[in-house]
Structure 1
Amino acid sequence: MSFKQILKQMAQNKNPHVPWSEHFRSAIGGIVGGGFVAFIAKFASEYTEINEWAMASLGASALLVFVLPSSPMAQPKAVIGGNIVSALVGVTCAILIPDPRLGIPIAIGVSILGMLFFKCLHAPAAATALSAILGHIVTYRFALFPVLMDSLLLVLAGIFYNRITGKQYPHTEKSPGNISSKSPSAETMSLIEDKNAIAQVLAKYKEFIDINPGDLANIIRDVELHAYQQKLKSITCSAIMSSPVISVEMATPLEEAWIRIRKNHIKSLPVVDRNDRIVGIITLEHFLKYAAVDFDKTFGQRLQGFMRQSFSRASVKLSDAYPNAVGQVMQKTVRVISTNRNLLDLVTIFEGDGHHHLPVIDEHQKLAGMITQSDFVRAIHSSME
């Protein structure tokens, strides 16, 4: 999936599903943060000469801190710096421009320019400048109280509440960037390349975008992974398995089983009953472990020699001597998979369980095919193409 396709898909999903638990988490955060600031600021206002003890942008700032804690505009530098810059601009305009009809637009415009210059853009802060004009506040103490104090208290509340509710604040993009830069891994280098490519693409829009390029890179990677997983789920085992399957029965002589393995260049043989249901599996390892002979053209002769020796010993039963049938050496516990299972299910089996070959059964529990690691790799390669 190309970057353009991913952006198109993201644009189509304008309202992604957010669980109600997150709704309540955000709302409760606003109550906690707003209450924390209000109680302390109101108490502190008794020791100042300024009547205002809550900045006008407090509610909007709280929304960013508790609802969108990963937004660049919600970070501590943006909240504190943006509000202070806007407060200083607002007070200056209130002093120099008595007419609010002229002071309001200038204060808003200059505060935006100041926040961009100091790289602390915080959208609600423009209201802080506006409140200085409307309240005709002409003392720079306003920038310290309530603006600086309210901003600091809100950020502290945001750090505490977001972290105890499982959100990272201040936000840092999730990436393998903690790996030593002296010898970056392939994953680190890939992420760096993704971030650089995304930054170049976003630069063409010539707009401010409220998301970190690194976070956007992670989102795109997750979208690609999700799309790839959905594609793997659409490929069933019946589509990639080898069929018909070369199999043997429990009573099949070992010599015959060995000839089938050599002739067909395979590493395992599923063992079935008369109804074609899996009862075991025999592999090269089983031959080496139980037969304990060199498997060449003289296999039958060597086997007959061992059999003659076993018959010459009256105290030894045939089943205790050198094995002569598949049922005596096969593995009875067999991992199987159904034809309707998908390629994503195979990932865990081949990666985690260490299987090299997997019998496939149909809805009647009968042997339908065989999937090897080679079949699996070819399917993965085809899906990537």
Structure 2
Amino acid sequence: MTTPPSTDDGQKTRFLTRFRLFNPILAGATFKERLIGCLGALIGIGLTGLVCALVFGDDPRLPLIAAPMGASAVLLFAVPASPLAQPWSIVGGNTISALVGILVSSLVGDPMLAIGLAVSLAILAMSLTRSLHPPGGAAALTAVIGGSSVAEAGYLFAFVPVAVNALILVAVGILFHRLSGRQYPHRPAAPVNPHRTADPPPAMRAGFNAEDIDAAIERFNETLDISRDDLHALLREVELQALARQKGELACADVMSRDVVTVPASATPAQAQSLLLRHDIRTLPVLHEDGRLAGTVGLRELAALEGVGALPVTPAATASPSDPAIGLLPRLTDGVAHAVVIVDEGGRVVGIISQTDLLSTLARSLARARGGSVMLGAGQGI
């Protein structure tokens, strides 16, 4: 018999949970991600300073690196998906803000008024040029209170070192993120209809839409550090995860067709077409000589084949038998894949789930929830 925790133990647990070390403030900010960000900042700022020292080291009037680059490095390497951390924001935001600061400094004699105007007008200028970048405020401030070296440099300060620093930092950031397997510059996944019609993609036709997101953001009455397209994609993923949690009891092994019609990679297009038509299916898994999956072929690929040639094999959408069947929804509703091939750990085909298979499963699930019954035929790649 277990002893229930005491009140003191419960309070201690809640305290440690709330204030535990490295508890991420931002979503996705794991300790590993932060270590990668630290390494990126070390390399980015170090290389930026080194390059500027080699190029401008003989000019004592100019600093090797502008202080706002430290804040830019935080955004660039710690939150690279932020709209505020993209290349134009870093380069344009810092440079434009420095120019604003220099202009204000030359026109306004009162230092207290100048520092306020420089930052506020920098925000306006960055907003109008779609280059909003928080360190830009520091760049504008530095242009006003940077001392004699900045004053002597004049408008040159906005380009050397500010713009040069920003360009080098962005270049290092692009290389670093690619080497570490991250996408930068960040490109939000915009929904595309694969059939090139005006309709939204199939997965976007039900549930919330772009107007709902805009209305929710307006009611929220806050500026969010995430693009609208990223927010749309995140909410769609939340919907999928919730559905998988509610309907995740069915694995791919419970739904898949096991008597799979396949074709060897050495087959001719005519042989593949004959199998597709004979079995009234749309997708054929293509196998290597050792039985491992090589890809798929369908009527669409065969129709696009000009003349006589090798089998037009395309990469296959795959899953494992233990994966939740409901998790296949995005791939089977993207307008491209008609079936997902189920493979074992060795890459050998053990089954296939078509759009009809998954639709039938969802229909039965809804029927059970409503106390009724729905019958749908299932088939490979139909």
TM-score w.r.t. the length of structure 2 is 0.58
Unaligned runs of 5+ in 2: 1-23, 255-320, 329-338, 343-350, 372-382
1:93 matched to 2:79: no
TM-score w.r.t. the length of structure 1 is 0.57
Deviation at residue 175 of structure 1 after TM alignment: 3.8
C-alpha change, 1:15 and 1:355, in structure 2 (3 Å) is: closer
Between 1 and 2, higher relative CO (CA 8 Å, sep ≥ 6) is seen in 1
Of the three residues 203, 227, 243, the one matched with 2:218 is 203
- Bigger drift between 128-137 and 109-118 goes to 128-137
Distance in 2 separating the partners of 1:100 and 1:179:
58
1:171 matched to 2:186: yes
Q: Percent identity?
A: 29
Question: 8 Å contact 1:231–1:383 — kept in the other structure?
Answer: no
Q: Deviations over 1:10-40 (max 9, x none)?
A: xxx9664644321211111111111111101
Of the three residues 148, 161, 164, the one matched with 1:146 is 161
- Bigger drift between 81-90 and 17-26 goes to 17-26
Deviation at residue 177 of structure 1 after TM alignment: 3.0
Partner of 1:119: 130
1:225 matched to 2:240: yes
Of the three residues 83, 87, 104, the one matched with 1:72 is 83
How many equivalent pairs are there? 257
1:24 matched to 2:38: no
Deviation at residue 92 of structure 1 after TM alignment: 1.2
Name the amino acid aligned to 1:134: I
Partner of 1:57: 68
C-alpha change, 1:34 and 1:180, in structure 2 (3 Å) is: farther
Alignment of 1:1-385 (within 5 A): 16=27, 18-48=29-59, 50-136=61-147, 137-138=150-151, 139-177=154-192, 179=194, 181-182=196-197, 186-187=201-202, 190=205, 194-233=209-248, 344=324, 352=342, 353=351, 377-380=363-366
C-alpha change, 1:193 and 1:345, in structure 2 (3 Å) is: closer
Deviation at residue 232 of structure 1 after TM alignment: 1.4
Partner of 1:337: none
CA RMSD of aligned residues (A): 3.9
C-alpha change, 1:175 and 1:117, in structure 2 (3 Å) is: closer
Deviation at residue 104 of structure 1 after TM alignment: 0.8
Question: 8 Å contact 1:82–1:120 — kept in the other structure?
Answer: yes
- Bigger drift between 194-203 and 61-70 goes to 194-203
Unaligned runs of 5+ in 1: 1-12, 241-340, 357-371
SS in 2 for 1:159: helix
Deviation at residue 47 of structure 1 after TM alignment: 4.8
Question: 8 Å contact 2:247–2:326 — kept in the other structure?
Answer: no
Question: 8 Å contact 2:240–2:327 — kept in the other structure?
Answer: no
Partner of 1:283: none
Distance in 1 separating the partners of 2:53 and 2:369:
63
SS in 1 for 2:209: helix
- Bigger drift between 46-55 and 125-134 goes to 46-55
- Bigger drift between 189-198 and 95-104 goes to 189-198
